[in-house]
Structure 1
Amino acid sequence: MRSIVKLAAPAAAAALLLAACGTTGGETSSGASSGSSGGSCPEGISIGFFGALTGPDANLGVNINNGVKLAVDQHNAKSGACQVTLTPYDSQGDQNQAQGLAQKAAGNTKLVGIVGPAFSGESKVADKVFADPEVNLVHITPSATNPSLAENGWKTFFRVLGNDATQGPAAAKFITGTLGKQKVYVVDDSSEYGKGLADIVRKDLGAADVKDNTVQKGQTDFSAVVADIRSSGADAVFFGGYYAEAGLLLKQMRDAGLSSDQVAFISDDGAKDDGLITAAGADAANGAYVTCPCLPPDKAEGTFVEDYTKAVGSAPATYSAEGYDAATILLNGISEGKTTRADLLSYVASYDKPGVTKQLKFDDKGEPSSVSVWAYKVDGGKIVADQEINS
């Protein structure tokens, strides 16, 4: 959602994680000592981050982890603070790894809360583990937007941004209303997130949805899809999925002569990353749009942007501020002596304080009380805020 931390490969993602989090090996990485500051501060108390820190979608996870790390460091620097350790659980964005990682987190007796899981697919698997009454591990996602996650009765589930039941209709409205497009070709990447969002967009486009298609995560050849887009007569393409595939599809559309004047390209928050521009090339990416239920960086409250930039060495990126807000909720609970899983869960459920992105308060399903959706545009090689999409 901002100037983006560039991670072109898993090795780069790991390098940034080492720099930002001070990881030296083992299960935990600490921004400060984990010693106790009093009887209500258990030795080595920890919060976790669960999401991709390596792998093809790592940029988004690292952005969040950077925000979480900043919140932990700021908390630990306060006089008399209960020192909290940050424990990363690197899912690589792979839903198949989520079960084992969730069980590992559940068994970590020092861990009282989690920021994440970051993606909807891994959330669907891991959240069941956290919600088990024998585990009772509160988790606040800054980025998993599939609406169904809030419909499972999981009392430990919370998220700090709007879900795709908000983003999907807003994207459809932006495409047909603001952009004036009436023949939209909708593609999804078959993931829990990408297909779920694309299906909502399809429904809200109604008759403007002229044709649908599905591709696969990791697919690189979209020539058949591009040919089908051309033959459909579409004046816009909406892609539901992540930046790697979105960027390649966009590149191959433009290489085939489908210019931005002929066929607009719109994607989602999973594609809101500089990786989209890297995959497509700056010229092809120029003029593309993405939607996101996340706040533009210059609208974050307080000194967050300045503090983040100083700590990380680059401006906040997509979900960084949301990750910071989610971590701050957990850390505020620990500061108020809520140092067991049960106590911290109750604290989060009744939380009502301002964050850097919005007033942070949850309904009985764990959804935020305040949501907004923004359209962003690629302009001059950067993803910049275009406008808030009014509901």
Structure 2
Amino acid sequence: MRVTGAVAMSAVLALGAGACGGDDGGSGGDTLNIGFMGDLTGPDSAIVIPPFNGAQLAIDQYNATNPKKKVKLIRYDTQGKENQAAALAPKAIKDDKIVAMIGPAFSGESKAANGILDKGKVPSITPSATNPDLSKAGHKFWHRLVATDQAQGTGIAEALIKAKSPKKAYVINGKKAYSIGIGDFAFQAFKAKGIDTQRDQIDETASDFSSTVTKVVAAKPDVIFYGGYYSEGGKLLKQLRDGGVTALFASGDGSLDAKLVEAAGAKQAENALLGCPCFIPFGEQTDPTLVKFVSDYKAKVNANPAIYSTEGYDAATAFIAAIKGGNETGEKINDFLKTYDTKGVSKQVKWGPEGELAETTIHLYQVQDGAIKWLGKSDEAKPKG
């Protein structure tokens, strides 16, 4: 199954994306406002639209029960820009009086907005920001629904080592915080195993990566790890293959989208290994909860669940559970989350005192015959190529 469904929604979301005021927000009236912050129309929106769709599905299902307090999901479109996240956070708190925030989706914008949300006593759950330092800022209202770049970069590198027993590795990353961070951990994992590892950095805004390709060709690595997003990862992979590089190529959640395959070309992308601290319910499911989620999601957005769809759903479900329990202010919702312990559609959802999940898993996916397929958990999967 290809992860293309979410992209089709971008045009629809673009019509109404961005911050919009709530009618009866805050803890007054018949409606409570919850925000969703992330790149909804920018270059990497295909990573963010699926968790938005998942969150909206959970809220629509809740509102359909005709509760005393309904929930309105308000979009805050950052386009992946940190300054826009920092500007939208105060508006969400003061003007829209949100009682909770799903997001920010990316690590850079999370660093820009988390402090503002925390000061405003707005509990937040990010479905996809993976920088390890986010939990070290001392915020009391922040939560994460995925594993960190440390677990992801290390897990993917170790899977490459297990699959290929490489003598040489090459790590490439962009300039963004996410790219550098996940690249650091993959590099360290290779070095820790005594593997000859070289590294280079690309400019995400460029279109020609020939200087990096030349370095990789000279290095003759057995495996390549790219830390970055699909928007440039696909172009990089194509240029590497066109340059004669045949090493097994791997990347993290930022590249887990069909657009990576489209940009690189199906032939060049074949066997590309993609890791993610998320579970995408590909194929036929046997768990009744997942069967229902997949059916409901497809019925709502006319697309299969994609990256972080389940995490978006679980984030909204946690806030809804708090509201159903009579908690209608940010502080009370935050207190509720401290004891929340539920099996979600993505994983067991339980947070520690710093907002990190009690247990996390890295999943591996691989491009096979032009489609992205789930292989299994990183310590169990057997990649091809």
TM-score by length of 2: 0.91
Q: 1:237 to 1:307 in 2, by over 3 A?
A: same
Query: Within 2, Cα distance between the matches of 1:283 and 1:16?
Result: 31
In structure 2, how many angstroms separate the alpha carbons of the residues matched to 1:2 and 1:101?
33
8 Å contact from structure 2 (residues 190, 197) kept in 1:
no
Which is further off, 42-51 or 311-320? 42-51
CA distance 1:368–1:26, shift in 2 (3 Å):
closer
Equivalent residue in structure 1 for 2:121, among 124, 127, 136: 136
Whether contact under 8 Å (1:168, 1:201) holds in the other structure is yes
Contact conserved, 2:217 with 2:244, CA < 8 A, in 1?
no
CA distance in 1, matches of 2:2, 2:331: 35
Q: Is the 8 A contact 2:35 2:74 kept in 1?
A: yes
Counterpart position of 2:300: 311
How far 1:110 moved relative to its partner?
3.1
Shift of 1:168: 1.8
- Does residue 211 (structure 1) correspond to residue 207 (structure 2)? The answer is no
Q: Counterpart of 2:13?
A: 17
The residue number in structure 1 matching 2:177 is 192
CA distance in 1, matches of 2:90, 2:196: 41
* Structure 1 match to 2:100: 113
Cα shift at 1:180: 2.4
**Aligned partners of 2:238 and 2:269 also within 8 Å:** yes
- Correspondence 1:87 to 2:74: yes
Identity %: 37
What RMSD, in angstroms, separates the aligned Cα atoms of the two structures?
2.1
Equivalent AA in structure 2 for residue 17 of structure 1 = L
Partner of 2:4: 4
Q: After the TM superposition, which parts of structure 1 deviate over 4 Å for at least 4 consecutive aligned residues? A: none
> Displacement, 1:25?
8.4
Paired residue type of 1:146: N
Q: What's the CA shift string for 1:32-63, capped at 9, x where partnerless? A: xx779xxx873331111100001100111111
CA distance in 2, matches of 1:24, 1:280: 29
8 Å CA contact 2:136–2:354 kept in 1: the answer is: yes
CA contact (8 A) 1:42 1:339 kept: no
Q: Which residue of 1 aligns with 2:53?
A: 66
Do structure 1's residue 385 and structure 2's residue 378 form an aligned pair? Answer: no
Cα drift, residue 167 of structure 1: 1.1
SS in 2 for 1:291: strand
Deviation at 1:370, TM superposition (A): 1.8
- Residue 367 of structure 2 aligns to a residue in which SS? strand
Counterpart contact for 1:6–1:275, Cα < 8 Å: no
How many Å separate the matches in 1 of 2:253 and 2:129? 10
Q: Which residue is equivalent to 1:286?
A: 270
Q: Which runs of 5 or more structure 2 residues have no equivalent in the other structure? A: 381-385
Quick one: which of 20, 24, 27 aligns to 2:20?
27
Match of 1:150 among 132, 135, 152: 135
| Counterpart Cα distance in 2 of 1:289 and 1:28 | 42
Deviation at 1:89, TM superposition (A): 0.4
Q: SS at the partner of 2:41? A: coil
Does residue 182 in structure 1 map to residue 167 in structure 2?
yes
Offset of 1:165 from its aligned partner?
Answer: 2.0
Secondary structure in 2 matching 1:75: helix
Q: Could you tell me which residue of structure 1 aligns to residue 336 of structure 2?
A: 347
Q: Which residue does 2:383 correspond to in 1? A: none
CA contact (8 A) 1:186 1:209 kept: no
Opposite residue 195 of structure 2, the aligned amino acid is A
Deviates more, 1:169-178 or 1:100-109: 100-109
CA contact (8 A) 1:64 1:322 kept: yes
* Secondary structure in 2 matching 1:54: coil
SS of 2:314's partner is helix
| 8 A contact 1:145–1:193 mirrored in 2 | yes
